[in-house]
Amino acid sequence: MKISQKLNLTLAAVMLFAASCKKSGTEDMVVADQTISAKELSSVSALATPSTTNSMINYESYYVSAVDGLVHGYIISLPLDYNPDNATKYPLLVFLHGAGEKPSTDYDLAKLKANGPHKEIFSKRRAFPAVIVSIQMEKWAPEIKPEVVKEFIDILTGVKTVGQKTGAGRGLTSYKIDLGKINLTGLSQGGASVYKTAFTYPNLFASISVFAGYTGSQANMSLIKIPAYLRHNSGDATVGVTNAYNAQRWIDAAKPSETVNLLVYNKTGHDAWSTPYASEELYTWTWNKSRTVSTPPAAPVEAAPTAPVVIAPVVTAPVVIAPVVTAPVAITPVVTPPVVTAPVISAPVISSLYPANNSIISKPSSGYISLDMIFSKNIKKGSGLIQVKNVTKNTIYNAYASWAMVSVAGSKASVYPMPVEAGSTYVVTVVSGAFKDESGLAFAGITNTTTWTFSVK
Burial class of residue 65 in the structure, from the number of CB atoms within 10 Å of its CB (0-12 exposed, 13-18 middle, 19+ buried): buried
> Mean pLDDT for the chain?
82
Would the pLDDT of 355 be above 80? yes
Would the pLDDT of 12 be above 70? no
Report percent pLDDT > 70 for the chain.
76
Crossing angle of helices 146-157/189-200, nearest 10°?
Answer: 70
pLDDT tens digits for range 202-222:
999 999 999 999 998 999 999
Strands 453-456 and 435-437: unpaired
Predicted pLDDT at 339:
64
Domain limits of the chain? Answer: 1-32, 39-287, 350-456
- The better pLDDT of the pair 156, 394 is held by 156
Would the pLDDT of 111 be above 60? yes
Which listed CATH number (3.100.10.20, 3.10.20.70, 3.40.50.1820, 3.40.50.720) goes with 39-287?
Answer: 3.40.50.1820
Mean pLDDT of 54-72: 88
Would the pLDDT of 401 be above 70? yes
Would the pLDDT of 15 be above 50? no
Would the pLDDT of 51 be above 90? no
Would the pLDDT of 177 be above 70? yes
Q: Which CATH architecture has domain 350-456?
A: Sandwich (2.60)
Predicted pLDDT at 397:
83
Q: Which long-range contacts (CB under 8 A, 24 or more apart) does 275-283 make?
A: 275/231, 276/209, 276/211, 276/229, 276/231, 277/115, 277/116, 277/117, 277/119, 277/120, 277/211, 278/120, 278/124, 282/209, 282/229, 283/128
Predicted pLDDT at 81:
86
pTM surpassing 0.85? no
Strand ranges across the sheet with 359-361? 359-361, 453-456, 424-430, 385-390, 395-400
Predicted pLDDT at 30:
25
Would the pLDDT of 167 be above 80? no
**b/e map of 422-457 (b: 16 or more CB within 10 Å)?**
eebebbbbbbeebbbbeeeebbebbeeeeebbbbbe
Would the pLDDT of 293 be above 90? no
Query: What are the C-alpha distances in Å from 362 to residues 369, 455, 456?
Result: 10, 9, 6
